Amino acid sequence: MSTVVVKMGGHALDDLSASNECLRALADDIATLGAKGDQVIVVHGGGPQINALLSAVGVHSEFVDGLRVTDEAAMTYVDMALASVNRALVTAFGLSGVTSVGVSGVDGVTLRADSIGSPWGHVAGMPTVTTELLETLLAASMVPVVSPVAVAWDGRRLNCNADTAAGAIAAAMDADVLVLLSDIDQLRADPEDPTTGLSRVSVSHVGDMIASGAAREGMRPKLAAAAHAIDAGARRVILANGTRAHALREVLEGTIATTEVTA
C-alpha cells in the first residue's frame, strides 16, 4: 500500500464544474489507485477564486516572494473562497464515484503554524501536522480533500500556501510520493526559456535556485515545500502539469515530462 499526496493549484482549478474533464480524469485516477489499495490525500489551492472574491468585495491583494499578503479582512475571504473550492472538488469527485470528505487544516487542528510576520500578516509558515483526522478518513476508505487554512497558536486562522501544506502533510504521512500539480510541465533552469526544463533536481540545487532568484514568484514556495517534504521523510516529490487529463496517472507511470526533486 502506498500513500500519495496530490496538490492541485493554478489553472488546473479554473473550471470546478463536475463536468470538467480534468477533474473527472483525476477522480478516475484516484479511484484506480484506491482499487489497488493505495491511499490518496488531495490538497488544493484556490488562487483564481480568492482573486475573484477579493476583487468583488474591493479588498486589495498583492504578493511578496510568491506568497499572498493577507491581513485580517482578507483572511476572512481567503477562507470563504477556499471553502467554496473544497466543496466543488468534493462534489466533482463524488459524482465521479470517489468518496471524499472536505476538511480544512482547522478541522482536528490538522495544520498548526506560526505566522511568518510582516509584511504577509495572516500567512502561515511551515505547519505542524496532526495526522489523526487524515488517518481516520483513509482507514474508512475516504479521500481527504484538504483546504490549506491553518490554526495559529493563538487561535487565529492563517492562509497556508497550498504547496507548503501539501509538503508538510506528505512529510507527516511518510508519503511514498507527493505530486505537485500546477500549470507547467517542468521546472526550468531559465524561467523565461521553456526549452530549459529539468527532469531532476536535487534539494541542494533547489536551495540555490531559491537563493539566486532563479525560482520566482509561486515557484519559490513550491520548491521550498518539495525540499522540506524530501528532507522530512517523503520518498518522492514530482512537479507536473495538472491542466491535462489523467495527469496523476501519467506522472506515476512516468509517461509525461515532469521534474522530480531528489535528496
Classify the C-alpha dihedral 15-42-221-68 as positive or negative: positive
pLDDT value, residue 127: 96
What is the structure's pLDDT at 1?
Answer: 83
Q: Which residues contact 22 (CB under 8 A, 6 or more apart)?
A: 12, 15, 242, 243, 244, 245, 247
Say what the pLDDT of residue 184 is.
81
- Which CATH number characterizes residue 165's domain? 3.40.1160.10
Domain count, the chain: 1
Give, to the nearest 10 degrees, the angle between helix 219-231 and helix 203-212.
150
pLDDT of residue 93: 95
Indicate whether 130 pLDDT > 80: yes
pLDDT of residue 10 exceeding 80: no
pTM comes to: 0.95
Residue pair 202/219 in contact (Cβ under 8 Å)? The answer is no
In this predicted model, what pLDDT tens digit does every residue of 134-176 receive, in sequence order?
A: 999 999 999 999 999 999 999 999 999 999 999 999 999 999 9
> Distance of CA 182 to CAs 8, 73, 117, 132, 163, Å?
6, 27, 27, 28, 10
* Percentage of the chain exceeding pLDDT 90: 70
Model confidence at 86: pLDDT above 80: yes
Per-residue confidence band for 206, with pLDDT thresholds at 50, 70 and 90: confident
Round to the nearest angstrom and report the end-to-end CA distance of the chain.
Answer: 23
Q: Which three cell numbers stand for residue 211?
A: 537563493
pLDDT at 142: 97
Q: Domain containing 27: what range? A: 3-262
Contact in structure between 23 and 89 (CB atoms under 8 Å): yes
Q: pLDDT per residue over 215-262, tens digit each?
A: 878 788 888 888 888 988 888 999 999 888 999 999 999 999 999 998
For residue 71, the model assigns a pLDDT of 94
Using omega within 30 degrees of 0 as the cis cutoff, is the peptide bond preceding 119 cis?
yes
